[in-house]
Amino acid sequence: MGTEIEAHKPQLLPAVASDVIAAAGGLLWREENGARLLALIHRPRYSDWSLPKGKLEPGEGWQVGAMREVHEETGCQVTLGAFAGAISYSTPAPKVVLFWHMETTDPGGRSDEADQVRWLTPQAAMALVDYDDVRALIARAANVAGAPIARPVLSLPRAAPSHRRLQAAVASLGPEVERAVADARSRRESGPWIDAARDHLASARASAAASEGQTATGWGALEASARALIFGYGDAQLSAAVLSLRAEANEKIKNWRGQAITTLLDKREWDALSIPDRRVRLHEATALRDQHGQNAYFRLEVLGRQVRYLVYFLGAALGAFLLLVGVRQALGVPIVLDGGATITVQDALATAAVGALGGSFSALLTITRAGARARIPDQLSLSVATAMRPLTGAVAAIGVVLLLRAGLVRADLVNGSVLLAFAFAAGFAERLVTGAIERVAGKDA
């Protein structure tokens, strides 16, 4: 065991950032009666079935840690093989786990962390394992026909993109899938990725043809189809795709997923990898990128729901205020403020209208400054905030004018023109609320 670990020390991957938990494990294989079997362990601490894996020790390399963990949890002497894939999740701290194929002739046994080791076919292992991301990893690494080649670690609804955009994306990807399949067959290549790409594309087409309630499902299937194509990439396509994804991770993904993508696609390690290993790493990195996008749109969906509630509340409050003023005015009992001024329906409506105008003007300035080059999630968050700006401005204007007319300034200075000017300026106060909304929308998952 120790000799094999030492032999792999020159191939260590770079460490991830300190706020990301680094772990490693293995898909441990052995032959039995002509069948190729995979090891699953049962951990009594968690009462689950999974692949052997664990956290790296301080200063330990990925491959060394993977071999150590598999040996400790299965009791097997192992030989390291090719990179098998990666998964990531939150514990709640972000955690990235890299896996390698490994070989053994030992049956294994009990350990301090695992009380059972079972040797199963890949299909049986997929049925027994308790985690969807591990199940998908086994399917990809073992090339299980018909298995889901790619699933994001976290499946969340994508509601913000329009259904028409999904339809356009499906129409664009269709020829690309068929072209990739034709190229692979011309080279006499085959693999489960061909069926997976076509099956996911068919699901995306069905969702695009259905109602808008299927938009989220359609986007997930479309992205899975595009990721499946990676397993048919040649060297030139891999090089172009990895350069693009590295740049995207550095520029746009400023969280632990971006760090994990950078680790998977590190140039020092990439250049020494075989084509199949490059495909696996690019696929895993692309899945992390897609997951990041899903989370961004999910936050926008939640944000939109919260803004709608706020709009309903503000609208109800404004309507109740105007109704109160109108009823009292009709009864000849106007609302009298501390300074002696009265409030009429005409005053309230004029103030609300000018405040809404100020809020609209503020929104126009913000949209113009953001421009058409803003990223789609940023534009969507801006549109969510913009929808409530006029109403927020109207409510803020009424509040400011009521304070002014209540005697906060000299009465001879508060005439109609001054009040309208203050009402318009108060419309810009909506930036305090919408700015907070935009900051929430911009937080990384």
In angstroms, rounded to a whole number, what is the distance separating the alpha carbons of residues 170 and 41?
40
Predicted confidence at residue 74, as pLDDT, reads: 92
242 C-beta neighbours (distance < 10 Å), count:
21
In angstroms, rounded to a whole number, what is the distance separating the alpha carbons of residues 212 and 200?
18
229 C-beta neighbours (distance < 10 Å), count:
25
179 C-beta neighbours (distance < 10 Å), count:
11
In angstroms, rounded to a whole number, what is the distance separating the alpha carbons of residues 301 and 323?
33
Please name the residue ranges forming H helices in 129-274: 132-142, 163-186, 192-209, 215-228, 235-252, 256-264, 267-270
Predicted confidence at residue 267, as pLDDT, reads: 87
pLDDT tens figures, 379-423 = 555 555 566 677 777 777 777 767 666 666 555 555 566 666 766
Which residue in 437, 175, 50, 251 sits closest to 183, CA to CA?
Answer: 175
Residue 46 near residue 81 (C-beta atoms within 8 A): no
What the block records as the tokens of 5 is: 């670990």
Residue type, 303: L
In angstroms, rounded to a whole number, what is the distance separating the alpha carbons of residues 434 and 302?
15
Q: Specify the residue for token string 């090089």.
A: 239
In angstroms, rounded to a whole number, what is the distance separating the alpha carbons of residues 266 and 355?
53
Low-confidence ranges of the chain (pLDDT < 70): 1-19, 109-110, 143-162, 211-213, 298-307, 309-311, 314, 333-343, 361, 363-388, 401, 403-420, 422-423, 426-445
In angstroms, rounded to a whole number, what is the distance separating the alpha carbons of residues 4 and 381?
52
Predicted confidence at residue 19, as pLDDT, reads: 65
DSSP state of 56: P
Run of H or E residues at 37: strand 35-43
pLDDT tens figures, 185-234 = 787 877 788 888 888 888 888 888 876 667 777 888 889 889 989 988 88
Q: What is the DSSP string of 304-327?
A: HHHHHHHHHHHHHHHHHHHHHHHH
Helix (H, G, I), strand (E, B) or coil at 414: coil
Predicted confidence at residue 106, as pLDDT, reads: 79
| Residue 92 preceded by cis peptide, ω within 30 | yes
136 C-beta neighbours (distance < 10 Å), count:
23
Strand partners, 230: none
Helix (H, G, I), strand (E, B) or coil at 333: coil
Predicted confidence at residue 8, as pLDDT, reads: 38
> What distance lies between CA 297 and its chain's CA centroid?
7
In angstroms, rounded to a whole number, what is the distance separating the alpha carbons of residues 318 and 312?
10
Residue 314 near residue 391 (C-beta atoms within 8 A): yes
Q: What is the model's pTM?
A: 0.51
Q: What is the CA radius of gyration of the chain?
A: 30
Domain 1-147 in CATH 2.70.70.10? The answer is no
Run of H or E residues at 143: none
CATH 3.90.79.10 domain position(s) in the chain = 1-147
Which residue in 229, 242, 223, 240 sits closest to 291, CA to CA?
Answer: 223
In angstroms, the first-to-last Cα distance of the chain is 40
Predicted confidence at residue 49, as pLDDT, reads: 92
In angstroms, rounded to a whole number, what is the distance separating the alpha carbons of residues 155 and 159?
13
Which residue in 200, 195, 272, 270 sits closest to 239, CA to CA?
Answer: 270
Predicted confidence at residue 146, as pLDDT, reads: 37
